[in-house]
A and B are shown apart, each in its own frame.
Chain A
């Protein structure tokens, strides 16, 4: 892979992992309130959990596509940790931006993923 496709693959995997982790955090009462100031219903909680898992699993795809199964999984683990740390920092410094950052990143990442699959 050349450097540009390495960077794109990384951004894709990291973006999906970030969207997943952001979604997980929104499924938790205190962070939901932090980010939006409203109540979290039980059904939304489930939804956030489900999208969280889906994004985390989707993030495996670019990692494996870029580096193969074994090295890809190590990359995936790294990006998931990095994404979780980013969510903690965003929640701590700009909690109101968590949602549109997560949504924006998820949107871009998903469309790139779709384009790559076509």
Chain B
């Protein structure tokens, strides 16, 4: 019985892992990037270079500038929502947002003089986050990602079952051993050592969206599922009065707001310019794991305090805890980097798993598809290359499109996304045309060039790059670009290994027996 059980677990792990691994790699890679979503967005708007002097502008002054701009430009109508996001640790510039008939308007303001910073049109890092949980395909995409997450959990558990030497091989990585051995060791070590992260991130990714994955439970209790939110978040709204009124400076409420909620992360102004206007101050989300923001509301006309919420239901803490620990907005930059590293290791786990599938079969074909086996194996190998290198290159091409596309073309930001998506197609065509190892090497070289030539490309387009970011003291943009260069270095270390495999340099164990894969 035991033998058949672990054999069936191995079967499950192999096939589910292969088919969903293709998708999971892209999901984990974009999720890893999502940790630095705001930094990436900032880097993708090089016109909005921030200087240390910007961060020193006091909060009250930033609010005055933002409010003055909104009162002049934002729409005044029933149900309008203006947002002010001042400069903070995880938000590098002063930003205001509002909506007109569902269409979002976002404007960056210079905190020194209040002028609009006109930037290139881009969806920035938000696109990667969006892809991470919707594949840019709305609800259907979310359901597919959810299914992949379930398979990931199955993969983790079946992986533990078939691993067997969980503790004995805890630190074992025999990189000089045969190809299959060393890839398997890498796969096992990556999986075992960040297992807590893998379970946490996959499980919370599922449960943080109950409206999508388990809608009926909520519908059984609430007529309107949105009422669930209303049960947790206190509302201090005021009715729309349909009569214009002069608003006070919201910055004058700052001392009161800070006394009530300690730190101010962002502000919302509802029904701006109306007699029933309300301004609400929200706390930064970095104070605890649970992603709940204490908030204080005032009348924006009289300045009277309407209410404060600093206490939350236990259920809200628990549910928003799942959200918070998935999104990692707590713990500052160190935690962001820990999540980023763990994300990279997860990508490595998935990639090594995919590679193992083909290495095993290249050595000892299992003829799982009958007469078609050889053909299907090479198709699988091409898709593996697309899933791994295609995803990496897609993100890099997205960055390049951001730097290269002319400023004035209509729908500029959608062209960036198109370039991102088309890369996968090109990658697949290339992988189908070339022999597997050559395809791996060429796409690796391409990725490394994309990483390393990016600053040069920016310079040729008259945009700031690494040196200028450093000179202006824009640490965030500098960090993003430096990280891209480092990723290039990481990818470059793989190139000689693939070359060695192509030229058939035998490894120690299998010396002389046959050409070693990879």
Contacts and interface: CB of A to CB of B under 8 A. Distances in A.
Interface of A: 6, 10, 21, 24-25, 28, 30-31, 67, 70-71, 74-75, 77-79, 81-82, 84-85, 87-89, 91-92
Contacts, number: 64
Most buried by B among A21, A24, A82, A87: A82
Given A82-B341, A91-B171, A91-B173, A74 B193 contact: no
Most buried by A among B289, B334, B342: B334
A75 B331 contact: yes
A78 B173 contact: no
B331 A71 contact: yes
B335 A70 contact: no
A81 B171 contact: no
B173 A81 contact: no
Contacts of A30: 172
Interface in B44-80: none
A81 B288 contact: no
User: Closest 9 interchain pairs by CB?
Assistant: A78-B338, A25-B171, A84-B193, A92-B173, A81-B194, A88-B173, A88-B171, A77-B196, A85-B193
Given A6-B334, A91-B171, A74 B341 contact: no
B185 to A, nearest CB: 9
B319 interface: no
Contacts of B341: 82
Contact of A78 (B172, B189, B335): B335
14 contacts: A6-B334, A25-B170, A28-B170, A70-B288, A71-B289, A74-B330, A74-B331, A75-B334, A77-B197, A78-B339, A78-B342, A88-B173, A92-B173, A92-B175
B222 to A, nearest CB: 29
Given A67-B331, A81-B194, A85-B345, A74 B325 contact: yes
Contact of B171 (A75, A78, A82, A84): A84
Nearest to B176: A92
Interface residues of B, number: 25
Contact of A87 (B171, B289, B330, B342): B171
B332 interface: yes
Contacts of B342: 78, 81
Contact of B335 (A21, A75, A89): A75
A92 to B, nearest CB: 5
Contacts of B335: 71, 74-75, 78
Interface string B304-348: 000000000000000000000100001110110011011001000
A35 B357 CA distance: 32
B331 A31 contact: no
B212 to A, nearest CB: 26
B350 to A, nearest CB: 16
Contact of A28 (B171, B289, B330): B171
A85 B345 CA distance: 10
Contacts of A67: 331
B137 to A, nearest CB: 32
Contacts of B189: 85, 88
B37 to A, nearest CB: 20
A87 B197 CA distance: 18
Nearest to A29: B168
Contacts of A89: 173
Interface string B165-180: 0001011111100000
B263 to A, nearest CB: 14
B171 A31 contact: yes
Given A77-B197, A89-B173, 7 more contacts: A6-B332, A25-B170, A78-B339, A81-B194, A81-B342, A85-B345, A92-B173
A35 to B, nearest CB: 11
A88 B191 CA distance: 13
Interface in B119-172: 168, 170-172
Contacts of A77: 196-197
